[in-house]
């Protein structure tokens, strides 16, 4: 257990002495270690929300269960080809949409090329989206 008060020689100044800028970057290694690279199951987030990547949205639903079913269908077909498949959420005007996202591309052009390559494997109205943190 931790002591609620410090030792007698602690300075009376309430300012935190041990939590400074040195700990600011301490969270990134922990989050990287939380995702095991060897997992063959669908990871909770196949597409890194913080990487600034572009993706292909193949479906958009307001019902999470429908979106998850659709995501599984695409995952079964496209993960073998090396495309991550994920579910992105976005709330606008009080409505949450669950978007089935395929692939993680460095720029919009790469996403457009992948959309061409995938052809009939994805819907004709597939659109390109920039992945943002919190989706």
The residues pairing with 99 across neighbouring beta strands, listed in sequence order, are 60, 88
Domains of the chain: 47-130 (3.30.70.1070)
Q: What percent of the chain has pLDDT over 90?
A: 64
CA separation, residue 31 to residues 45, 104, 131 (Å):
12, 19, 19
pTM, two decimals, is 0.67
The radius of gyration of the chain from alpha carbons, rounded to an integer in Å, stands at: 21
Quick one: 60 exposed, middle or buried, by C-beta within 10 A (0-12, 13-18, 19+)? middle
Closest CA to 86 of 70, 97, 107, 62: 70
Confidence of residue 15 (pLDDT cuts 50, 70, 90): low
d(CA 128, CA 106): 12
Residue 87: pLDDT over 90: yes
User: Terminal CA-to-CA distance of the chain, rounded, Å?
Assistant: 38
What's the confidence (pLDDT) of residue 32?
Answer: 42
Q: State yes or no: pLDDT of 20 exceeds 70.
A: no
CB neighbour class for 121 (10 Å; exposed up to 12, middle 13-18, buried from 19): middle
Query: For the residues of 44-100, what is the DSSP string, one character each?
Result: S-SS-TTS--EEEEEEEESSHHHHHHHHHHHHHHHGGGT--EEEEEEEETTEEEEEE
pLDDT greater than 50 at residue 25: no
pLDDT of 101-133, one tens digit each?
999 999 999 999 999 999 999 999 999 999 999
Tens-place pLDDT, residues 32-63: 444 333 334 444 569 999 999 999 999 999 99
Region of 37 on the Ramachandran plot (φ > 0 left; ψ -120 to 50 alpha; else beta): alpha
């Amino acid at each position: 257990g931790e002591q609620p008060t410090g030792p007698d020689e602690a300075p009376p100044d309430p300012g935190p002495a041990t939590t400074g800028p040195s700990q600011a970057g301490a969270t990134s290694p922990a989050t990287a270690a939380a995702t095991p690279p060897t997992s063959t199951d669908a990871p909770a987030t196949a597409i890194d929300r913080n990487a600034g990547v572009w993706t292909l949205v193949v479906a958009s639903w307001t019902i999470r269960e429908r979106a998850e079913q659709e995501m599984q269908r695409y995952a079964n077909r496209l993960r073998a080809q090396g495309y991550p498949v994920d579910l992105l959420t976005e709330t606008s005007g009080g409505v949450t949409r669950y978007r089935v996202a395929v692939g993680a591309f460095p720029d919009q052009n790469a996403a457009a090329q992948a959309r061409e390559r995938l052809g009939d494997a994805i819907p004709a109205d597939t659109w390109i989206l920039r992945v943002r943190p919190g989706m």
